[in-house]
Structure 1
Amino acid sequence: MMRQYELVEKVAAYKPDLDEALLNRAYVYAMQKHGAQKRASGDPYFSHPLEVAAILTGMHLDEATIAVALLHDTIEDTDATRKEIDQLFGQKIGQLVEGLTKLKRLDLVSRKAAQAENLRKLLLAIADDIRVLLVKLADRLHNMRTLGPMAPEKRARIAQETMDIYAPLAGRMGMQDMREELEDLAFRHTNLEAYETIVSRLKELGDRQAGNILRIETDLTERLREAGIEAKVSGRQKKPYSVFSKMQRKALSLEQLSDIFGFRVIVPTEEKCYATLGIVHRTWPMVPGRFKDYISTPKQNDYRSLHTTVVGPSRQRVEMQIRTQAMHEIAEYGVAVHAVYKDASRDAGAKAYLSKDSNAYGWLRRTIELLAEGDNPEEFLEHTKLELFQDQVFCFTPKGRLIALPRGATPIDFAYAVHTDVGDTCIGCKIDGRVMPVVTELSNGDEVEIVRAKGSTPPQAWESIAVTGKARSAIRRAARASIRRQYSGLGQQILERTFQRSGKTFSREALKALLAKLGQKEIEDALAAVGRGELMPSDVLKAAYPDYQDSRVTKADPRQEQDGWFNLGTAAGMIFRVPGLARPSGEPSANAIPIRGVGDDMAVQFGPDGAVPGDRIVGIVEPGKGITIYPIQSPALNDFDEHPDRWVDVRWDIDAAMSERFPAKIAIAAVNQPGSLAEIAETIAANDANIHNLSMVATAPDVTKMVLELEVWDLQHLNQTLKQLRGKACVSEVSRVNG
Structure 2
Amino acid sequence: MTTAEDLIDLVRAYNPKSNANLLRRAFVYGAGMHEGQLRHSGDPYFTHPVAVAAVLADMQLDDATIVTALLHDTIEDTKSTFGDVEAHFGKEIAELVDGVTKLTNLQLNSSETKQAENFRKLFMAMSRDLRVILVKLADRLHNMRTIKSMRPDKQAQKARETMDIYAPLAGRMGMQWMRDELEDLGFQVLNPEGRTSIIRRFITLQRETGDVIHKITTDIRHELDKARIEAEVFGRAKKPYSIWRKMEEKKLSFSRLSDIYGFRVICASEFECYVALGAIHQRWRAVPGRFKDYISQPKSNGYRSIHTTVSGRDGKRVEVQIRTRQMHEVAETGVAAHWSYRDGIRVENPFAVDPVKWIATLTERLDPSEDNEDFLEAVKLEMYTDQVFCFTPKGEVVKLPRGATPLDFAYVIHTRIGDSCVGAKVDGIRVPLWTRLKNGQSVDIITAEGQRPQATWIDIVVTGRAKTAIRRSLRDEDRERFIKLGLELARIAFDHVGKRMTDRALITAARRMDLPSSDELLSRLGSAEITARLVIETLYPELIAHPGDEIEPGRAIVGLSPKQTFQRARCCQPVPGERIVGITYRGRGVMIHAIDCPILGEFEEETERWVDLQWHSGLHPAVHTVSFDMTISNDAGVLGRICTLIGQQKANISDLHFRDRKPDFYRLIVDVDLRDVEHMHAVRQMLEADSDVATITRHRDPDLKP
Pick the TM interval, shorter chain. Answer: 0.7 to 0.9
Q: State the match for 1:161 in structure 2.
A: 161
> Compared with structure 1, are the counterparts of its residues 323 and 513 closer, same or farther at alpha carbon in structure 2 (3 Å cutoff)?
same
| SS of residue paired to 1:393 | strand
Aligned partners of 2:493 and 2:678 also within 8 Å: no
Aligned: 1:279 with 2:279? yes
Q: State the match for 1:469 in structure 2.
A: 464
Indicate the RMSD between aligned Cα atoms, in angstroms. 4.4
Q: Is there any run of 5+ residues in structure 1 with no aligned partner, and where?
A: 570-575, 590-606, 614-620, 653-657, 664-712, 720-734
Aligned partners of 1:273 and 1:322 also within 8 Å: yes
Aligned partners of 1:393 and 1:407 also within 8 Å: yes
Aligned: 1:386 with 2:381? yes
Matches within 5 A, 1:492-503: 492-496=487-491
Q: State the match for 2:675 in structure 1.
A: 640
Counterpart pick for 2:695 among 639, 651, 662: 662
Counterpart pick for 1:409 among 391, 400, 404: 404
Instruction: State which drifts further: 44-53 or 71-80.
Output: 71-80
Q: 1:555 & 1:215 partners in 2: Cα distance?
A: 94
Q: State the match for 2:588 in structure 1.
A: none
> Compared with structure 1, are the counterparts of its residues 509 and 440 closer, same or farther at alpha carbon in structure 2 (3 Å cutoff)?
farther
Q: 1:487 & 1:4 partners in 2: Cα distance?
A: 67
Aligned partners of 1:532 and 1:625 also within 8 Å: no
Q: State the match for 1:39 in structure 2.
A: 39
Matches within 5 A, 1:138-217: 138-206=138-206, 209=209, 211-217=211-217
Q: How big is each residue's C-alpha offset from its partner over 1:682-729, in whole Å with a ceiling of 9 and x where there is no partner?
A: xxxxxxxxxxxxxxxxxxxxxxxxxxxxxxx9979x99xxxxxxxxxx
Q: How big is each residue's C-alpha offset from its partner over 1:130-171, in whole Å with a ceiling of 9 and x where there is no partner?
A: 001100110010000001111112112211111111111111
Q: State the match for 2:618 in structure 1.
A: none
Aligned partners of 2:630 and 2:670 also within 8 Å: no
Q: 1:241 & 1:522 partners in 2: Cα distance?
A: 53
Q: 1:535 & 1:356 partners in 2: Cα distance?
A: 57
Tell me how far 1:504 sits from its aligned partner.
Answer: 6.9
Q: TM-score, normalised by structure 1?
A: 0.73
Q: Is there any run of 5+ residues in structure 2 with no aligned partner, and where?
A: 546-550, 561-565, 569-574, 582-591, 599-624, 632-644, 656-668, 686-690
Q: State the match for 1:447 in structure 2.
A: 442
Q: State the match for 1:7 in structure 2.
A: 7
Aligned: 1:17 with 2:17? yes
> Compared with structure 1, are the counterparts of its residues 147 and 193 closer, same or farther at alpha carbon in structure 2 (3 Å cutoff)?
same
One-letter code aligned to 1:141: L
Tell me how far 1:535 sits from its aligned partner.
Answer: 4.9
| SS of residue paired to 2:423 | strand
Q: How big is each residue's C-alpha offset from its partner over 1:270-303, in whole Å with a ceiling of 9 and x where there is no partner?
A: 0110111122223333334433212112234332
Q: State the match for 2:59 in structure 1.
A: 59
Tell me how far 1:463 sits from its aligned partner.
Answer: 2.2
Q: How big is each residue's C-alpha offset from its partner over 1:191-242, in whole Å with a ceiling of 9 and x where there is no partner?
A: 1111011112223334555555334434543543454432111122111111
Q: State the match for 1:75 in structure 2.
A: 75
Q: State the match for 2:131 in structure 1.
A: 131
Q: 1:419 & 1:287 partners in 2: Cα distance?
A: 35
Instruction: State which drifts further: 138-147 or 414-423.
Output: 414-423
Q: 1:304 & 1:549 partners in 2: Cα distance?
A: 71
> Compared with structure 1, are the counterparts of its residues 370 and 406 closer, same or farther at alpha carbon in structure 2 (3 Å cutoff)?
closer
Q: 2:131 & 2:251 partners in 1: Cα distance?
A: 39
Tell me how far 1:9 sits from its aligned partner.
Answer: 1.7
Q: TM-score, normalised by structure 2?
A: 0.76
Q: 2:219 & 2:426 partners in 1: Cα distance?
A: 44
Tell me how far 1:186 sits from its aligned partner.
Answer: 0.8
Percent same amino acid at aligned positions? 44
> Compared with structure 1, are the counterparts of its residues 289 and 371 closer, same or farther at alpha carbon in structure 2 (3 Å cutoff)?
closer
Aligned partners of 2:302 and 2:351 also within 8 Å: no
Number of paired residues?
620
Q: 1:357 & 1:628 partners in 2: Cα distance?
A: 67
| SS of residue paired to 1:290 | strand
Aligned partners of 2:366 and 2:378 also within 8 Å: no
Q: 1:339 & 1:608 partners in 2: Cα distance?
A: 74
> Compared with structure 1, are the counterparts of its residues 506 and 300 closer, same or farther at alpha carbon in structure 2 (3 Å cutoff)?
same
Q: 2:544 & 2:116 partners in 1: Cα distance?
A: 51
Q: State the match for 2:475 in structure 1.
A: 480
Aligned partners of 1:356 and 1:362 also within 8 Å: no
Q: 1:581 & 1:411 partners in 2: Cα distance?
A: 57
Aligned partners of 2:330 and 2:351 also within 8 Å: no
Q: 2:340 & 2:649 partners in 1: Cα distance?
A: 53
Aligned partners of 1:171 and 1:179 also within 8 Å: yes
> Compared with structure 1, are the counterparts of its residues 650 and 220 closer, same or farther at alpha carbon in structure 2 (3 Å cutoff)?
closer
Aligned partners of 2:338 and 2:354 also within 8 Å: no
> Compared with structure 1, are the counterparts of its residues 251 and 580 closer, same or farther at alpha carbon in structure 2 (3 Å cutoff)?
same
Q: 2:217 & 2:682 partners in 1: Cα distance?
A: 85
| SS of residue paired to 2:148 | coil
Tell me how far 1:122 sits from its aligned partner.
Answer: 1.6
> Compared with structure 1, are the counterparts of its residues 535 and 221 closer, same or farther at alpha carbon in structure 2 (3 Å cutoff)?
closer
Q: State the match for 1:91 in structure 2.
A: 91
More relative contact order in 1 or in 2 (CA 8 Å, sep 6+)? 2
| SS of residue paired to 1:41 | coil
Q: 1:585 & 1:608 partners in 2: Cα distance?
A: 12
Instruction: State which drifts further: 129-138 or 455-464.
Output: 455-464
Q: State the match for 1:667 in structure 2.
A: none
Tell me how far 1:267 sits from its aligned partner.
Answer: 0.7
Tell me how far 1:265 sits from its aligned partner.
Answer: 0.7
